Structure 1
Amino acid sequence: MPQPDRRRFLTSAVLGGSAVAGATALGSLAPEAAFAAPPRIDLDPGALDPNFAEGRITAISGSLIKASGSDRTLHRIHVTDGTSIWKLRPTTFDQIKVGDGFYARGVRLPDGSLAADAIWVNIVNLDASIASIESKRLHLDHAGKRVVGHVISGTTAAVYNHAPAVADLTRLQVGKHVKVIGAWRPDTNEVDIATVYAGV
């Protein structure tokens, strides 16, 4: 969808127009998409993307999220019928809680708030090594700290050597490097694993 149409669609959704398509029509909701947005060529090097917000949710009022960014920027984010939400898996607005972390992409409105087309809640992207393996948990070493990765039945998948994702985790090996995308459990060292990428 071209940028002007995307802006018109999200603006009308915030202002009360009917939303006829989910945000996935505007781009991928896959968790990898949160980290893979192409650089904006219209921005000066080092400038922040005005159509992106991140931080921790401090309040929810109706369909408006208030949040504090990691740089202490205060964000106001509108969730509409056209906003797609990921929290380990595609989900609904009622699963977002105060205290959750988030990444959001959308379009900036004239009042400075963001009309979100996609929100990734508690998303993490960890480079780690496997310290030990249990049937439902991976113990990971990440940046000198231990992280417990929970295997979620029906959700957690592994990608070996760039092959398609599979549910079989038996090829993971202690001591090997992995990349883990998942959903952080706020205020803990625990993550629910969406996908673990490994070479074998």
Structure 2
Amino acid sequence: MDTTLDRRRLFTAAVLGGATIVGATALGSLAPEEALAALAWDVEPGAVDPNFAEGRITSINGTKLFVTGSDGVFHRIQATEGTSIWKLQPTGFDSAQVGDGLYARGVRLADGMLAAESIWINIVNLEVHISAMSRNMLHMEHYGSKIIGHVVPGKTATVYNGTPAISDMSLLKVGSHVKVIGAWRPDTNEIDIATVYAAV
């Protein structure tokens, strides 16, 4: 069975016919950690992945996103009722805003539109050095750039030494090197923190 053909048929039906389809999480995890690891599926090094788009949203029309890539390429992205969307947490299409950055993966239709299986809005994956801490913020440095990370009650979690994520950040220390996944606040040096990965 040709999985690519089946996915293409599924999403073409969803875009053109409004078919009820399973969420994209059935086709792959929406978890940002796994999403970032899976952004280049089955593509030769240096080749363009036709089923992937990235950039900033320049306009929104209904459930279509018009996106200008960092390379200047213009993308049209169609969300369906089966599209999974992440913006700090799984969310709905109405969370997308003009100016947001995104990564999208899906199926490229004959007219060039990308029927999105998954969209990650403003997602960042940073290796940082913690320079200062408060109860609600981490001050971080990333290759000389200063970044402010906001702790979001009920959402921000920490993973210590690969153990399950917990809300307790008390083991983080100034001077530590950690990995942070979060949602960028466009046009700022600030992010909302989803997960901190630390070795203690």
Structure 1 length as normaliser, TM-score? Answer: 0.96
- Structure 1 segments (4+ residues) deviating >6 Å: none
Task: State how far apart, in whole Å, the 1-side matches of 2:55 and 2:118 are.
Answer: 14
Deviation at 1:164, TM superposition (A): 0.9
Q: What is the aligned residue count?
A: 199
What is the one-letter code of the residue matched to 2:191?
V
Deviation at 1:74, TM superposition (A): 0.2
Aligned to 2:128: 128
Aligned to 1:16: 17
Question: Do the aligned partners of 2:14 and 2:21 also contact (CA within 8 Å) in 1?
Answer: no
Task: State how far apart, in whole Å, the 1-side matches of 2:151 and 2:144 are.
Answer: 22
Task: State how far apart, in whole Å, the 1-side matches of 2:7 and 2:28 are.
Answer: 10
**Structure 1: gaps of 5 or more residues:** none
What is the one-letter code of the residue matched to 1:191?
I
What is the one-letter code of the residue matched to 2:58?
T
Q: Counterparts of 1:88-127 in structure 2 under 5 Å?
A: 88-127=88-127
Task: Tell me the secondary structure at the aligned position of residue 37 of structure 2.
Answer: coil
Post-superposition CA distance 1:147-191 (Å, at most 9, x none): 000000000000111111111100001001000000000001100
Aligned to 1:142: 142
Task: State how far apart, in whole Å, the 1-side matches of 2:96 and 2:199 are.
Answer: 34
Q: Counterparts of 1:143-182 in structure 2 under 5 Å?
A: 143-182=143-182
Structure 2 length as normaliser, TM-score? Answer: 0.96
Task: State how far apart, in whole Å, the 1-side matches of 2:102 and 2:168 are.
Answer: 29
Please state if 1:183 is matched with 2:178: no
Question: Do the aligned partners of 1:55 and 1:69 also contact (CA within 8 Å) in 2?
Answer: yes
Structure 1 pair 94/83, CA: closer, same or farther in 2 (3 Å)?
Answer: same
Task: State how far apart, in whole Å, the 2-side matches of 1:20 and 1:103 are.
Answer: 21
User: Cα RMSD between the aligned structures?
Assistant: 1.3
What is the percent sequence identity of the aligned residues? 61
Task: State how far apart, in whole Å, the 1-side matches of 2:37 and 2:137 are.
Answer: 27
Deviation at 1:143, TM superposition (A): 1.3
Aligned to 1:76: 76
